[in-house]
Amino acid sequence: MVPAPTLFDERTDAAASTAPATSGAANGTAAYGFSTRAIHVGSEPDAGTSAVIPAISLSTTYKQDGVGNFKGFEYSRSANPNRDSFERALASLEGAKHGLGFSSGSAVTATILAALPPASHIVSVNDVYGGTYRYFTKVASTTQNINVDFVEMGGEAAAVEERLRDAVKPETKIVWVETPTNPTLRLIDINLVARVIKSIAPSAALVVDSTFLSPWYQNPLTLGADIVVHSITKYINGHSDVVMGAAVTNSDEWANKLRFLQNSIGAVPSAFDSWLALRGLKTLALRLKAHGQSALAVATYLSSHPAVDEVLYPGLPSHASHALARRQVSKRAAPKEASGPFAYGGMVSFRLKSDPKDERPAKEVLKNTHVFTLAESLGGVESLIELPSLMTHASVSPEDREKLGVEHNLIRVSVGLEDIDDLIADLDGAFKAANLA
Ligand SMILES: *Cc1c(COP(=O)(O)O)cnc(C)c1O
């Protein structure tokens, strides 16, 4: 159905030895690195025009040479050249056999759940993305009678294993993990969860939402995940101008199911969005390295600020899951030094020393930044700042927010690619303007 793979369809550079063997090793071609694949897979020169960049294929339908005899594309919902390019590029970056593009990250969640029989059971990480929580509890629960148990999957290995054993049932079809979590940036040990699930519920699929780190920092398939989910809207497109999602997997069975549902439900991305997302993905390595370095600099600055009580950044040695961050980070993004701080994504959260029940101090800070834009979302080149308790996590009850540590003194920033001196000066000025320094 899709064009023949090319020289660049390599599955290399993966984080762990459990990665599937590369076709490169098998056919004698060189193993290409992350950015080479990001730039070339899916962007092969056009056979007709030799254009280096794929044209945007807006046609909804494709001429057949005889009935049922078509050159890979038939009708644009089923397959589109730009979506296909994007899907192949992303699959290559995740070391996956299959990639599937969707109209949003939320559409990926809905489509995966549509593959489940009625009355299935899901075990989910407790502080899952709000939209995923909403779909589980307000949509799938009523339309498919799907039951979800939310489980604390962080912390000590034996305790995590015990909680998983308690939660898993015979009808558990999916274990849903998100790491780091949002907005408190806790880490879940993907390999640990995978090992426990494979031993107690071998038929359940482990799904990992890897949106916060992108394939540059994390490749869950190499750690035992069955399906990786991305909101392309965030780092992979990276320019805050596309809403899109994707799933990748090495399982032929899951790929077939999802491909069928992608076409049947039709929550597909447009050709233009697929084209933009492929363009964004080409610079993923450069952007994510820079996001990480600047986020580390912001986190370090905040750690020594007198108005800040606690900084949540897994790359800092003070973070509870710092050791796990070192183990779980992809080899390509791993720090050279055996200890000390390192770049681990572009998201930083921090708690002000103010009363957690009082929203005024944080609101004052957020009112006084000029480079950081007050807005939801993340992963774009521009820095964003927000107050989760009243914005992204406003729908979570105050009791649950308190349990999750999401109160009015917790601020989340998506560190963009502006000059780091400007970003730090901006935060410094906001603290002063809020009378916190
Ligand atoms: C944004 C986001 C989603 C949802 O993606 P959309 O593209 O907004 O539908 C899912 N998971 C995480 C972690 C996200 O940040």
Does ligand 1 lie within 6 Å of residue 274's CB atom?
Answer: no
Q: What is the pLDDT at residue 27?
A: 31
Does ligand 1 lie within 6 Å of residue 211's CB atom?
Answer: yes
Q: Which of 127, 209, 226, 426 is catalytic?
A: 209
The fold adopted by the segment(s) 284-433 is Aspartate Aminotransferase, domain 1 (3.90.1150)
CA atoms of 384 and 335, how far apart (whole Å): 26
Domain boundaries, the chain: 81-281, 284-433
Q: Which of 37, 83, 173, 234 is catalytic?
A: 234
Does ligand 1 lie within 6 Å of residue 229's CB atom?
Answer: no
CATH architecture observed for domain 81-281: 3-Layer(aba) Sandwich (3.40)
Closest CA to 123 of 174, 163, 170, 190: 174
Of the two residues 20 and 252, the one the predictor is more confident about is: 252
Mutate to test the pocket of ligand 1, among 177, 231, 232, 240 (most ligand atoms within 8 A of CB): 231
Ligand 1 atom nearest the C-alpha of 233 is: 7
- State mean pLDDT over 14-43: 61
327 in catalytic set: no
Residue 97 confidence class, pLDDT cut points 50, 70, 90: very high
Residue 47 confidence class, pLDDT cut points 50, 70, 90: confident
pLDDT digits (tens, 9 = 90+) for 120-149: 999 999 989 999 999 999 999 999 999 999
Q: What is the pLDDT at residue 1?
A: 44
| Residue 124, beta-bridge partner list | 150, 176
Q: What is the pLDDT at residue 6?
A: 52
363 in catalytic set: no
Q: What is the pLDDT at residue 23?
A: 39
Kindly provide the residue ranges of all beta strands, DSSP E only, lying in 260-343, ordered along the sequence. 308-312
CA atoms of 39 and 58, how far apart (whole Å): 22
Flag whether pLDDT at 256 surpasses 60: yes
Residue 207, classed as helix, strand or coil, is strand
Residue 238 confidence class, pLDDT cut points 50, 70, 90: very high
* The two structure tokens encoding residue 81: 């050249």
Closest CA to 426 of 389, 377, 387, 374: 374
Q: What is the pLDDT at residue 396?
A: 86
Question: Do 155 and 125 contact (CB within 8 A), yes or no?
Answer: no
Does ligand 1 lie within 6 Å of residue 243's CB atom?
Answer: yes
Q: What type of residue is 113?
A: L
Ligand 1 atom 2, closest CA: 231
> 182-201: buried (b, 16+ CB within 10 Å) or exposed (e) per residue?
bbbbbbbbbbbbbebbeeeb
Does ligand 1 lie within 6 Å of residue 129's CB atom?
Answer: yes
Ligand 1 atom 1, closest CA: 231
Does ligand 1 lie within 6 Å of residue 181's CB atom?
Answer: no
Percent of the chain surpassing pLDDT 70: 93
Q: What type of residue is 403?
A: K
pLDDT digits (tens, 9 = 90+) for 154-167: 999 999 999 999 99
Mean residue pLDDT of the chain comes to: 93
Q: Please tell me the pTM assigned to this model.
A: 0.94
Flag whether pLDDT at 281 surpasses 50: yes
* Ligand 1: centre distance to CA 350 (Å): 21
Ligand 1 atom 4, closest CA: 105
Question: Do 150 and 125 contact (CB within 8 A), yes or no?
Answer: yes
Ligand 1 atom 5, closest CA: 105
Q: Which letter does DSSP use for residue 36 in this model?
A: H
Question: Do 414 and 347 contact (CB within 8 A), yes or no?
Answer: yes
pLDDT digits (tens, 9 = 90+) for 354-392: 999 999 999 999 999 999 999 999 999 999 999 999 999
Does ligand 1 lie within 6 Å of residue 111's CB atom?
Answer: no
Flag whether pLDDT at 111 surpasses 70: yes
209 in catalytic set: yes
Ligand 1 atom nearest the C-alpha of 232 is: 7
Q: Which of 9, 13, 37, 129 is catalytic?
A: 129
Q: What is the pLDDT at residue 8?
A: 53
Burial-class residue 206 by CB neighbours within 10 Å (0-12, 13-18, 19+): buried
Does ligand 1 lie within 6 Å of residue 131's CB atom?
Answer: yes
84 in catalytic set: no
- State mean pLDDT over 417-422: 98
* Ligand 1: centre distance to CA 222 (Å): 22
* Ligand 1: centre distance to CA 363 (Å): 25
